Structure 1
Amino acid sequence: MAGGLFWASVVLAVIISVFALDIMGLFSRKNHLEVDGKTVLLTGGSTGMGRGVAKILAKKGANIVIVARNQQRLAEAVKYISASAKDTSKQRFHTISADVTKPEENDRIMAEATKWNHGQPPDIVWQVAGGAHPALFKDTPIEVLRSQMDMNYWGAAYLAHTTLNAWTKPSAGSQDASTGPRQFIMTSSVAALLGAAGYAPYCPAKAAMRSLADTLRSEVNIYNGSRRSKDPSVRAEAPGRDISIHLVMPGTITSPGFENENLTKHAVTKLLEKDDSPQTEDEVAAAAVKGLESGGFIVTTQFIASLLRAGMLGGSARNNWLLDTLMSWVVAVAWLFIGPDMDAKVFNYGKKYGAKNVEEGAK
């Protein structure tokens, strides 16, 4: 028994040490999200994480296009974001008011951004737009279940569709490797990695985004491979630049959206979340950008989320094979205790209150 505890402690110490070294950048010296002088399109860029990401990328020299529905918020956000520009004499900023839940609107977004960007599609497209309507499944109107899928999954899928169509147009043999790959980034949620009572309208849509990212990551290899074909006719039909796919999975973010979520959130959901450590928009944006700069495919913004990701990777690409393998061992053991504890909290709540939304149950 003592020997087992000793070796478990040794393994845990090694994992923590490796994770710390990874955070400090030991395993990734190259910047995989170079944005200086490039154009970045962000949906959901007027508030919350999207605004935080746009501000960081502006500091790094990017030209920014933000998309949201409310024109007044867009105007306020672009003023806030452009104030952080690295070089105001060179960088440009633009806003587009659109509803990303409609496929034709995503086509318009890409067309307008391309025209504004001197006839070239954006170098990086980052889908941040989304939102949660937490509630018990049976109490959620069918139209809300549909709108959650529209806002989260379909909003990302439509944007991915129009973006990849713009990026995969034949280059007539002209291959541009100097500017790096074009990058499509989706924003899912740590909620995609576990099912929690009260998040049934939201979790499935975010989980679907993870599957889409896995699929697209495999699919773009067709186009990346065609750029390296020995057959001139194949290369002539290939895009001019490589394409990479990424998925960001943040946890709870303190934002106006989070305040709205709490209006419909069931007490049992709050009970499950009471030990969470919410991040501000700037904190989550900084963690997401840092993870992408290190070359991550699925990027999380908190340590506990990183453990969950490692434990549920399945066929998804590893960010760091050693670190992810070690963390998956830890979470496999830890979940033997965490899973039953979460189930017990929900069971005991029901035993005491039934399905009633009783705030005292979260105390």
Structure 2
Amino acid sequence: MFFKAKWDPRGRHCYVTGGSSGLGLALAVLLTRKGAHVSIVARNEERLQKALEALEVVRQTPGQVLKHYSFAVDSEAGAAAAIEAASEAHGGRSPDAFFFCAGKSTPGFFVEQDEASMRKGMDETFWAQAPSALAASKRMVSRHEKGKLVFVSSVLGYFSIVGYSPYSPGKFAIRGLAEALQSELILYDIDVHIAFPGTIFSPGLEQENRVKPKVTLKIEEADDGATPETVAEGVFKGVRNGDFHITYDFIGNVFRASTAGSTPRNSYLTDMFYSVVGYLALPIWRRGVDSTVREHRPEHRKYLSSLAFFKDVTSSSAK
């Protein structure tokens, strides 16, 4: 266990969904720098073209195969078609590593949601990654190929707070899928990893903050966040080391170790330390979060009143 070889992407085909921006693009650039053949997949052709230009800038050898593909991967058919197209440039062989970075967040209060918006939240999180995992697994197993599946959840896949009811359920679901596949895909010698990044400074975050409740922004004031490049380095390091749950900073490690259950550990010694920190500090932190939410009650009532959300139950009862 002490001398296990680290995973090296050099010369391997890495497939990245959500590869036109944010974490997906940062990972694609990093993998290209490491000498991998990289295929990026997203919907927007214009952004994909610009992303491919960024990969070309960091190309390491003339023989590297760098491609972009415009597909919607939120269905099994679309995901399978994208993987098939990317495989053609490699003699039909499936990618060696799949990085599922597609997804977005649209925060809001639960009482403002409806069935359509809650389903959309799952579409933007769980269903942005699950079809690709399904198509990739079927293709590799049917062809007796080995490889890696790398999911991207969120630190909000370990816990959640006010404002994230449309988002965090899908991130919890991605963890559930990864937990099941980590066990099942041992049958086929396919590795599974799942990353839990915190706040990532990206165009997606800017859009998210425009609709994010004030109380959520208040709770997150102390969140330093990280650049896509920093997160990509953390994700890559975890995959390279063979970690199942991947966290890259102190807070992430505390939440990971505190909610691991029977999940394979990265390090029993360090996880014991993080678990003790979590046991002592997380209840105090959560009490502070809940206190902030209670203090927000008056402002929140005014907000809902401005939307004419409340019903006049007194007059209804009188009738």
Which residue does 1:261 correspond to in 2?
208
Note if contact 1:100-1:151 (Cα within 8 Å) is conserved in structure 2. no
Which residue does 2:169 correspond to in 1?
204
CA distance in 2, matches of 1:344, 1:355: 19
CA offset at residue 352 of structure 1? 5.0
Matched, 1:55 2:29: yes
Note if contact 1:48-1:281 (Cα within 8 Å) is conserved in structure 2. yes
Note if contact 1:134-1:202 (Cα within 8 Å) is conserved in structure 2. yes
CA distance in 2, matches of 1:153, 1:353: 29
- Give the letter aligned to residue 274 of structure 2: M
Q: CA RMSD in A?
A: 1.7
Which residue does 1:163 correspond to in 2?
136
Matched, 1:90 2:63: yes
Which residue does 2:229 correspond to in 1?
282
Q: 1:28 to 1:135 in 2, by over 3 A?
A: farther
CA distance in 2, matches of 1:284, 1:44: 15
CA distance in 2, matches of 1:32, 1:149: 34
CA distance in 2, matches of 1:355, 1:306: 38
Which residue does 1:324 correspond to in 2?
271
Q: 1:29 to 1:84 in 2, by over 3 A?
A: farther
CA offset at residue 48 of structure 1? 0.5
CA offset at residue 31 of structure 1? 5.3
CA offset at residue 33 of structure 1? 2.9
**Most deviating of 303-312 and 149-158:** 149-158
**Most deviating of 97-106 and 51-60:** 97-106
CA distance in 2, matches of 1:134, 1:36: 38
Q: Deviations over 1:234-271 (max 9, x none)?
A: xxxxxxxx210000111111111000001110001001
The TM-score, its normalising length taken from structure 2, stands at 0.91
CA offset at residue 30 of structure 1? 4.9
Q: Which has the higher contact order (CA 8 A, sep 6+)?
A: 1
Q: 1:355 to 1:325 in 2, by over 3 A?
A: farther
Which residue does 1:193 correspond to in 2?
158
Q: Deviations over 1:6-64 (max 9, x none)?
A: xxxxxxxxxxxxxxxxxxxxx97655331000000000000001100011100110001
CA distance in 2, matches of 1:335, 1:255: 27
Note if contact 1:134-1:199 (Cα within 8 Å) is conserved in structure 2. yes
CA offset at residue 336 of structure 1? 2.4
Q: Deviations over 1:127-173 (max 9, x none)?
A: 000100011111124322112211211221111111111111254xx
Instruction: Name stretches of at least 5 consecutive residues in structure 1 with no aligned partner.
Output: 1-26, 224-241, 358-363
Which residue does 1:72 correspond to in 2?
46
The alignment partner of 2:261 has SS state of coil
CA distance in 2, matches of 1:46, 1:318: 32
Note if contact 1:297-1:317 (Cα within 8 Å) is conserved in structure 2. yes
The match for 1:217 among 168, 171, 182 is: 182
Over the matched positions of the two proteins, sequence identity in percent amounts to 31
CA offset at residue 116 of structure 1? 1.8
The match for 1:121 among 91, 94, 98 is: 94
